[in-house]
Structure 1
Amino acid sequence: MPQTTTTRSLSAAISLAILAGCAPLPVGPDVTKLLSPNTIMPVDMKPPSNIPGMCWGHIPGPQITQIVSDIIIATPAQIGPNGEELSPAIYREVTRPQTFNEGEGRWFTRTCDADMTPDFVMTLQRALSVRGVYRGDINGVLDQRTLRAVHKYQTPQGLDSAVLSLSAARQLGLIAVEIEPAEASDT
């Protein structure tokens, strides 16, 4: 069986397992190629941590805020020396907003911290500047302005995060794209 057919079959099997959430993610050299750079998986599937050079980012699920009520003791009960209650406790209801995560979110492949050198960040800033989303100094510092530009670049692509994904890094031309060599024909 040709290599591309094997890779496609393995890719399809892993994709189905990830989508179904019913199988652990196998780890090996073929899987490493398939996970990068566009892998996005639900948070309940922990990403494999034993793949060298692969780092993960997390997008939390949407948050909702609800008003919750608590009953607190405003004045504690007064107890006499014999243990009898002199005056009962006074309670009151307190309402407050509380934020909950509606969903668990999802994981995505990202650039590793070790790769975010000043030279890499300068190249990132230039690439974002050319695309009109960064308007700051090209200084190699991963500051708030740069992070906002990364977020602005990735959001239309469905990734609401300021963490640079591998997919975005490749689209920006910051990371080489691996191309499989063409198979030699037998004739």
Structure 2
Amino acid sequence: MPAYFVARSVFAVTALTSTLCLSGCQQTIADAPYLAAFSEPEILRAEDAGAPPGARPGSCWGRDVTPAVVETVSEQIMVQPPEVLADGTVLSPGIFRTETQQRILKERRELWFESPCEEIWTEEFTASLQRALKVRGHYYGPVTGTRDGRTRAAIRRYQNTGGLDSAILSMESARRLGLIAVPRDTI
């Protein structure tokens, strides 16, 4: 077999492998915002350790934690002024020290809210949620009945309009979407 034929075959296989890898990477890159930012959120039962105090037994809870916003400010403080002659000649430069301070601009916030429990999250419930969010312009994917990254992103977009920045569906949002009945005593 001629050497140039072997080299061309190796080149063709390498090019094909690279193309396949890149096409796979493009899919991963396109899905990255959904996969990385919206990992499965944690929903706690009232009986679990770490649940909010005073939670009604049998209820489930989500938690939204907003981190603190901290600003770091550095200042140059003159310790010794420069020595300068009348003609502008610098005999010795000024001496400065740097002081760094951190200021909290916005405090850390932890918000607990009631959420539908795991047993409610059937395929039918999830498909109904996807349809309700799609009609309101928050869900962009196909209705699959799977609680995936796109669904969690749509939940976050929908709830963000009401001030809750969480991918965990709140009971209040589920009621507003018509997915869970409103208790009679609140009507």
What are the superposed Cα offsets for residues 14-43 of structure 1, whole Å, 9 maximum, x if unpaired? xxxxxxxxxxxxxxxxxxxxxxxxxxxxxx
Tell me if 1:51 matches 2:57.
yes
User: 1:104, 1:152 → 2: CA distance?
Assistant: 19
Tell me if 1:123 matches 2:156.
no
Secondary structure of 2:69's match? strand
- Counterpart of 2:181 (choices 166, 176, 181) is 176
Residue correspondence of structure 1 range 128-139 to structure 2 within 5 A: 128-139=133-144
Residue correspondence of structure 1 range 51-90 to structure 2 within 5 A: 51-52=57-58, 54-64=59-69
Contact 2:156 2:167 in 1 (8 A): yes
The offset of 1:156, in angstroms, is 1.1
Residue correspondence of structure 1 range 89-168 to structure 2 within 5 A: 102-168=107-173
Aligned residues: 110
Give the structure-2-normalised TM-score. Answer: 0.50
The offset of 1:104, in angstroms, is 4.3
Name the structure 1 match of 2:102.
none
Contact 1:125 1:134 in 2 (8 A): yes
User: 2:171, 2:61 → 1: CA distance?
Assistant: 10
The offset of 1:179, in angstroms, is 1.9
User: 2:170, 2:182 → 1: CA distance?
Assistant: 14
The offset of 1:62, in angstroms, is 2.7
RMSD of aligned residue pairs (Cα, Å): 3.3
User: 2:64, 2:158 → 1: CA distance?
Assistant: 16
The offset of 1:106, in angstroms, is 1.4
Name the structure 2 match of 1:19.
none
Change (3 A) 1:50 1:146: same
Percent of pairs with identical residues: 41
Give the structure-1-normalised TM-score. Answer: 0.50
Bigger-Rg structure (1/2): 2
Q: Which runs of 4+ in 1 moved over 6 A?
A: none
Q: Structure 1 counterpart of 2:172, which letter? A: S
Task: List runs of 5+ in structure 2 lacking aligned partners.
Answer: 1-50, 73-105
